Structure 1
Amino acid sequence: MARREIIVLQDDLDGSEKDVRVVKFGFEGVNYEIDLGPANFDKLAQVLAPYVAVARKDPSSRRTAGPAVKTKGLSAAEQRAKNQRVRDWAKSQKMKVSERGRVPAKLSEAYHAAGLR
C-alpha cells in the first residue's frame, strides 16, 4: 500500500499559504518557531531590525554548517521556495523526488523546459 503525505505550511497569523517559511527566533532563553508568509515575515523583520542591529550574536548558537550559498542571485529563502515548487511540480508529474536535500539538475531542467519558473 502506498502512502502519500502532503505538508502545507500556512501563515500562523493570516492563514495564507504562498511562500510560507518557518521562522525560528529566541527570546528570554526560549526558542520559538512560527510559520510566516512574505508580508508577515517582512513585518517581523522590520520590528526586530533596530534590536538586531545593536545585538550581539550568542556564541553558543553558532551553526555547524558552512556558510549559506547564494544560488543564481536568489536568497536562501527564495531558493528553498523555488526548490519546493520544483518538488511539487515533479510529484504532480509522477516523478520521484526526495523531500529534502539537493534538487537534481535534470529535475530542475525539466521544470524549466515545461515553461515554469
Structure 2
Amino acid sequence: MQTILVSDLTGQELGQDGQTVRFGFLGVDYDIDLSQEEADEFANTIQKYTDAGRRVGGRRQSGSAKTAPRDPSQTKAIKTWLDGQGIDYPKRGRLAQDLIDQWEAAHKQ
C-alpha cells in the first residue's frame, strides 16, 4: 500500500515536501495537506491572529524554539542526508528536532 500526499489547494502530488496542517476555526478542527510553500504561506497569513490570540491548548514552544519556517530546499537536503544515513523518519509532516539536530551537527563547519 502506498500513500500519496496531494495538495488540497492545487491537486498536485506533493512528494516528500508535503505536510498535513491541522488548525481550528469557530470550534471546528481541520486538516489540510499542503506543499511546504503553501504551509509557509498559511503560517505567515495566520501569524498576526495567533500573535494577538490567547492559547487555549496544544503544544507550547519556548521563545528559543520559535523560528522562521525552514527553507524547503534545506528540508529536502536534510531528508536526503537522512536517507543516505539510513535514518528512518516520517515521510509526511515536520521533521523531529532531534533529526534536524543530527543533520546540523554533521554539517557544522
Equivalent residue in structure 2 for 1:27, among 25, 36, 51: 25
2:4–2:13 CA contact under 8 A, matched in 1: no
- The unaligned stretches of length 5 or more in structure 2 are 91-97, 100-109
What is the TM-score with the length of structure 2 in the denominator?
Answer: 0.53
Identity %: 24
Counterpart CA distance in 2 for 1:81 and 1:50 is: 28
> Which one scores higher on RCO, CA 8 angstroms, separation ≥ 6?
2
How many residues are treated as equivalent by the alignment?
A: 95
Which digits, 9 at most, give the CA deviation of each residue in 1:2-61, with x for residues without a partner? Answer: xxx111211111214141001000001100000010111122112111111111101xx2
Determine if the alignment matches structure 1 residue 8 to structure 2 residue 15. no
- The unaligned stretches of length 5 or more in structure 1 are 91-96, 104-117
Counterpart CA distance in 1 for 2:14 and 2:3 is: 11
RMSD of aligned alpha carbons: 4.1
What is the TM-score with the length of structure 1 in the denominator?
Answer: 0.50
